[in-house]
Amino acid sequence: MATKITDASFETDVLGSSTPVLVDFWAEWCGPCRQISPALEELSKELGGKIRIAKLNIDENPKVPDKYGVRGIPTLMIFKDGQIAATKIGAMPKQKIKEWIESTI
């Protein structure tokens, strides 16, 4: 299950995580964001112990997206040891997301 995170919880939930974290920067009004959401939920179950998947609503939490230069959504960022390890922008099929995650972690 993907975890919902906020500007306030980002440092603890993402930067302080001992497990890599994929952050999905999304918004309610974004069609492609809704399109990839089920794939991220499935991957969260499939890749359970390897990576955590977190969702950050950019409309409700503008500080973190601004800090990391998020300009288009969906933006997916993988954080390892408190640093950005990889970034992808735009919707893609579940298998492509999985391959990207596995090549990064």
Kindly report, residue by residue over 1-49, the tens digit of the pLDDT. Answer: 889 999 999 999 999 999 999 999 999 999 999 999 999 999 999 998 8
pLDDT of residue 1: 81
| In-domain check, residue 19 | yes
- Domain count for the chain, please give it: 1
Residues 6+ apart with CB under 8 A from 21: 13, 14, 51, 52, 53, 54, 78, 79
| In-domain check, residue 103 | no
pLDDT tens across 41-65, in order? 999 999 988 999 999 999 999 999 9
| In-domain check, residue 101 | no
Which residue among 14, 33, 56, 76 is the active-site one? 33
| In-domain check, residue 104 | no
pLDDT of residue 57: 98
Q: Is 36 a catalytic residue?
A: no
| Closest to 89 (Cα-Cα) out of 71, 105, 63 | 71
| In-domain check, residue 102 | no
Q: Is 70 a catalytic residue?
A: no
Which residue among 30, 36, 43, 58 is the active-site one? 30
Taking the C-alpha atoms of residue 79 and residue 82, their distance in angstroms, rounded to an integer, is 6
* pLDDT band at 96; cut points 50, 70, 90: very high
| In-domain check, residue 62 | yes
Taking the C-alpha atoms of residue 59 and residue 6, their distance in angstroms, rounded to an integer, is 11
| In-domain check, residue 105 | no
**Six token digits for residue 6:** 């906020």
Quote the domain boundaries for residue 43.
Answer: 3-96
| In-domain check, residue 89 | yes
Which CATH number covers residue 42? 3.40.30.10
pLDDT of residue 76: 98
